[in-house]
Amino acid sequence: MSNLISKVIGDKRGWRAYKARVRRLPQNYRTAVEAIERYLMCFGPTNADSAASMFEDLADLFEQASADGTPLRDIVGEDPVEFVETFLRNYTKGGWVTREQERLIDGIRRAEEGATRS
């Protein structure tokens, strides 16, 4: 697991600091962050710098929301998956995900060009 964490989020000290911040959140915010974190571990960036930045921003968001008394649904909306996917768009996925996304875009572009030639 530590290899996965260092590959995905980088420095262990940074990860521990992030986890300590999450532990200090009120229980309901902490539960929400941990659920989002699990999702991000599967679908988030594979670039360590981008992932570290993403988790820091996630902690910032929920710390500020907690301090302001913002209800969870006001943060994540009615569709938490949509919230996380929108959140993820701010970070470089890196690695094979980015390559496959670029291949998909290129393949569709080529298909469109081929259709206009026929």
Q: Which of 27-31, 38-42, 61-65 has the lowest mean pLDDT?
A: 38-42
Confidence of residue 10 (pLDDT cuts 50, 70, 90): low
Per the structure, the count of domains in the chain is 1
The whole-chain average pLDDT of the chain stands at 86
pLDDT confidence of residue 54: 92
Decide if pLDDT at 26 tops 60: yes
Do the domain assignments include residue 116? no
pTM of the model: 0.74
Residues whose CB falls within 8 Å of the CB of residue 61, separated by 6 or more in sequence, listed in order? 75
pLDDT confidence of residue 83: 95
Domain membership of residue 10 as a residue range: 2-93
Do the domain assignments include residue 62? yes
pLDDT in tens, 50-100: 888 999 999 999 999 999 999 999 999 999 999 999 998 888 766 666 778
Do the domain assignments include residue 11? yes
Neighbours of 94 (CB within 10 A): 16
Do the domain assignments include residue 112? no
Do the domain assignments include residue 6? yes
Geometric angle at alpha carbon 50, from 53 and 75, rounded to 5°: 50
Do the domain assignments include residue 109? no
Please state, in angstroms and as integers, the Cα–Cα distance from residue 109 to each residue in 69, 85, 93, 100, 105, following that order.
Answer: 46, 24, 21, 14, 6
Do the domain assignments include residue 73? yes
7: CATH: 1.10.1900.10
Do the domain assignments include residue 58? yes
pLDDT confidence of residue 4: 53
| Average pLDDT of the residues in 8-19 | 80
